[in-house]
Amino acid sequence: MAVAEHDHPHAPPSTRDDAVRRARWLNVATIGWNGTEGVVAVAAGLAAGSVSLVGFGFDSAIEVSAALILAWRLRREQRGGCMQADDRRATRAIAVSFALLSAYVGVESVRALSSGAEPDVSAVGIAMASLSLVLMPVLARAKLALAPALGSAAAVADAKQTNLCALLSGVVLIGLTANAALGWWWADPAAGLAIAAIALAEARRTWTAESLEDTCCA
């Protein structure tokens, strides 16, 4: 039996309801993966004394919070009518999560550089960051593709949060492998400062983002 075009997993959503349904499934995947990732990263980071891994786990927690915020936004679709006010509240809540990530990673990176604390090698952390670096960009692209159909700036912000998670995965991976292979303990917190700056820029951009033109679709 031939598969209908709108049933293909990579086909654009045929209706707004289809976009909402797909977005909900992506949220479930985000919450499941990042919840697991956060617990593993924090445990491995504490065991190795790695500020980047603990920060990575914190980022995962923020990613879960962003997904939960967007899930609330999507549930509001059931009421119908204009979603602009709800979308703005959800978008700004995600902006706050960007700012929290920036503050935490920035402070902990400075503290690590100042103290000169050398983290232990973490094979678990390297494996987790590598897997996240592969999965997160795919998830972010899938989320962003649904944003026009949803007419949701919150969906765009959530996709950016997932992209930032992928970027942080890359930085953490560089820091962990540089420490393991070359003994460059400082590479990881130094790169963390760059991530903090990027997260702060995203917080500002997301806070001032305008709703997409279709946000008031019934």
Identify whether 109 is part of a domain.
Answer: yes
Tens digits of residue pLDDT in 125-150: 899 999 999 988 888 888 887 777 76
Taking only the tens place, the pLDDT of each residue in 13-60 is 656 667 777 877 887 888 888 899 889 999 998 888 888 888 888 878
The token pair at 123 is 């094979």
CB contact at 8 A, 70 and 30: no
Domain assignment present for 7: no
Q: To 5 degrees, how large is the angle CA 112–CA 205–CA 106?
A: 5
pTM above 0.85, yes or no: no
Percentage of the chain modeled with pLDDT above 90: 6
11 vs 146, residue with greater confidence = 146
In a domain, 159, yes or no: yes
108 membership: H or E segment, kind and range: helix 84-115
Residue 218, domain member (yes or no) = no
Whether residue 9 is contained in a domain is answered as no
Q: pLDDT at position 213, please?
A: 42
Q: The tokens of 3 are what?
A: 């598969």
In a domain, 138, yes or no: yes
pLDDT band at 83 (very low <50, low <70, confident <90, very high): low
Provide the residue range defining the domain that includes 66.
15-207
Mean pLDDT of the 85-104 span: 79
Contact in structure between 41 and 128 (CB atoms under 8 Å): yes
Q: Considering the domain boundaries, does residue 102 fall inside one? A: yes
